[in-house]
Amino acid sequence: MSVVMHESLATDVKNRPAYSPGLEGVIAGESALCLVDEGEVGLLYRGYPIRDLAEDGTFEEVAYLLLFGHLPNQKELEDFSAQLTEHAVLPHLLEVFLGAVPSSAHPMDIVRTGVSLLGMVDPDAADHSRAANVRKSFRLLAQLPMLIATSYRLVNRKPRVRPREDLSFAENLLYLLTDRKGDDQAKAMARVLDVSLTLYAEHEFNASTFAARVTASTMTDLYSAITSAIGALKGPLHGGANEAVAEMFLDIGSRERAETWVREALAKRRRIMGFGHRVLKKGDARSAIIQRHAESLSGICGDRRWYEIATAVDHVMEQEKGLHPNLDFYTAVAYLQMGIPRPLYTPVFVCSRITGWCAHVIEQQDHNRLMRPRALYTGPSKREYVSINRRA
């Protein structure tokens, strides 16, 4: 562990260098991928407003944008989608691994270990060039839905299904996880899932992305960096919020119970998940987008229970705490409507954020400098060593 060894640091607070707990507000690098702004600019992916991308684009277009820096034309998009279809196959080593996974394994542990194993068998494993990293990103994006769905189906003794060439990325993901496809409700669900994937795809230097960039700064392979990101995302202070929100809605059960439930929870100083953001203090612009889609999907599915519970909780939290919902809050409504298994909410997040992670790894290594911060020493001043036979 690195420490700043200077006696005055332990005794003279005024001479201590600037310190921000959790690196809050600290500029730790440069990136052309994402602007997170609370003003009129809002959230931009490579200059494009998130609202435009979510409402008018597709997740495949956003993935292409993040990896290549520009939106694809029709041929580029078709070629990109064809490559995703081609690579949506798990290597034999992964099949063996998934067949041996215990039923008690955490889904994020399976994803983390599965991605690490993919790094062993990737045909570009020994090639760390930019072009090879882009190809690895394609394969990861294509294989992750298969990894997540196959492991879940094996553990729960459900028949396996293969992705279909006639379905989009979001349609295939919904099909792999829920068996839903084709009908009007399934199409509406897939559209909202596509929007959520776009909204989750990238968000600057969050904990998992920063973990990936720190790892990538050593010039290790892309899979090692992505494994670091997944490990960081597993932590409850970063990932799993939409899962926790869904569990809260299930516990509340009805709109009539919502206000009392929240006020009692607040009285007991329990944390209400899905509110507030470390950076977005004035509210999350993505939340309004997914809220509209969650409401629309609730109407299409003929079940407004979860949405009504959510709006009731939202109202109380604004009234009592002045807090606004973040992206995870109304996403939980949408995922409940879709019937996505709750333990898979965070792995679904990985299916989206893998695009941002990979783009950050590539960007970091294109303009690399090893990340090596310093620590503010808070231990005792210099002490005299005493031999063991003289110690009390």
**Hey, which residues are catalytic here?**
277, 328
| Nearest of 104, 299, 58, 77 to residue 201 by alpha carbon | 58
- And the tokens for 296? 């629309």
CA-CA distances (angstroms) from residue 56 to 53, 168, 248? 6, 15, 32
Report the distance separating Cα 39 and Cα 31, nearest Å: 19
13: which DSSP letter? G
- And the tokens for 1? 């562990």
Report the distance separating Cα 313 and Cα 309, nearest Å: 6
**Residue 5 burial (CB count, 10 A):** 10
Report the distance separating Cα 23 and Cα 365, nearest Å: 22
- Residue reference for tokens 């998130």: 50
Element (H, E) at 239: none
Report the distance separating Cα 91 and Cα 361, nearest Å: 23
Report the distance separating Cα 194 and Cα 200, nearest Å: 10
- Residue reference for tokens 């893998």: 354
Contact predicate 325/294, CB 8 Å: no
Report the distance separating Cα 229 and Cα 211, nearest Å: 5
For residue 302, the number of C-alpha atoms closer than 13 Å in the C-beta half-sphere is 2
Our CA angle for 356, 359, 362, nearest 5°, is: 150
| Nearest of 148, 51, 31, 164 to residue 101 by alpha carbon | 148
CA-CA distances (angstroms) from residue 136 to 124, 170, 198, 226? 7, 20, 20, 11
List of residues 6+ apart from 290 with CB closer than 8 A: 192, 195, 196, 199, 327, 330, 331, 334
Contact predicate 354/265, CB 8 Å: no
- Residue reference for tokens 């684009």: 57
